[in-house]
Amino acid sequence: MIRKAGQDDCQNLAALSLQVWLHTYATQGLRDKISQYALATFTEGHYQQLIDASGHEILLFIENNHLVGFVVIDLDSRFKGGVGGYEIARLYVSEHFHGRGIGRALIEEAKLQYGLPCWLSVWVENHSAIAFYRKLGFEQIGNVEFNLEGELHENHVYSLGRSEV
């Protein structure tokens, strides 16, 4: 089942975010910058603010009353290269549920509710995510850098239903 997030979902959103983010980015283990970022960013308060903020939506994938995936949509964000459309700011699915169509279902629901075009960024070393987005028809349109406490990490930018502004 896919539904919009409410305030009661924020604790589970924070916990799932930590699980997915650490699994994806702490591939060589933990160090201070990684731990500090994750613990400061993925909090209940962070998700409470997103739910309350205009221009943001969070769609949840619930299975057997458990949160197994979600997508954060920033309806006001635009890629600097001129691509219109909203940003898929985060798409997280628990690793235990990969390969079951949950990420695809969340993207399809976002398209159904908010249309196209949309864009997102992916860490260049996240090969499984890159393959997933390409399989869905996303095309690379640029690069951005993610700043992790002064360390710059390259990300590819992908778009679906691309539109020049």
Give the model confidence (pLDDT) of 108-144 as tens digits.
999 999 999 999 999 999 999 999 999 999 999 999 9
Q: What confidence score (pLDDT) does residue 81 get?
A: 64
Q: Which helix (H) or strand (E) holds 132?
A: helix 127-135
Sheet with 56-63, side-by-side order of all strands: 2-4, 56-63, 66-74, 86-93, 118-123, 151-160, 139-148
Pair of tokens at residue 163: 């539109």
Q: What's the confidence (pLDDT) of residue 11?
A: 98
pLDDT for the residue numbered 165: 45
Token reading at 70: 């979600």
Closest CA to 106 of 117, 92, 96, 118: 92
Pairing of strands 118-123, 86-93: parallel
SS3 readout for 5-49: CCHHHHHHHHHHHHHHHHHHHCECECCHHHHHHHHHHCCHHHHHH
Locate 128 and state its tokens: 């499984």
Q: Which segments of the chain have a pLDDT < 70? A: 81-83, 163-165
